[in-house]
Amino acid sequence: MPEAKLLEAFPTPADTPFVIEHVNEEFTSVCPVTGHPDFGSVTLVYEPRGAKAGGTCVELKSLKLYYQSFRNEGIYYEAVTNQIRDDLTRLMKPDWLLIRTDWRGRGGIRSRIFAMHGEVPQHWLR
């Protein structure tokens, strides 16, 4: 069962613009209708609030355990994406946050879902 309480945060180390991206290519949950497993990746990109504003960053190992807690959960693509966005936003209250899930697909259709919190900062470059 997805457990937001597994997530931990630490104080952000800087006040200057700063963007962090974590890509987990080993995500799996279960289709609530068919019971078959779904496989995909989850990308988190965010800009923490500055250190003086009390900004925090998610701790990497706790993030991994949090993702693993979806393993046997029957849940839709859209719900996974929104729940992760909400749990991480609640944890860090960042200036900006984007969750992108990429799913290997069912019935010949591959899917991607994007969910955001806040406005994309100008400094975010790809």
87-to-7, 44, 80, 122, 123 alpha-carbon distances in Å: 9, 12, 11, 24, 24
Q: Tell me the closest approach of the beta carbon of residue 56 to a copy of itself, in angstroms.
A: 12
Q: Is 124 exposed, middle or buried (0-12, 13-18, 19+ CB in 10 A)?
A: middle
User: Of 4, 8, 68, 69, which one interacts with a copy of itself (CB under 8 A)?
Assistant: 68
User: Of 32, 64, 74, 90, which one interacts with a copy of itself (CB under 8 A)?
Assistant: 64
The closest of 80, 87, 67 to 113, measured between CA atoms, is 80
The closest of 82, 18, 80, 86 to 55, measured between CA atoms, is 18
Q: Tell me the closest approach of the beta carbon of residue 49 to a copy of itself, in angstroms.
A: 14
Please report whether residue 104 would count as binding a copy of itself according to CB under 8 A. Answer: yes
User: Of 7, 63, 88, 92, which one interacts with a copy of itself (CB under 8 A)?
Assistant: 63
Q: Which two tokens stand for residue 33?
A: 């209708």
Q: Which chain residues interact with a copy of itself by CB under 8 A? A: 12-14, 16-26, 28, 36-37, 39, 57, 60-61, 63-64, 68, 71-72, 76, 78-79, 81-82, 85, 98, 104, 106-117, 119-120, 122-125
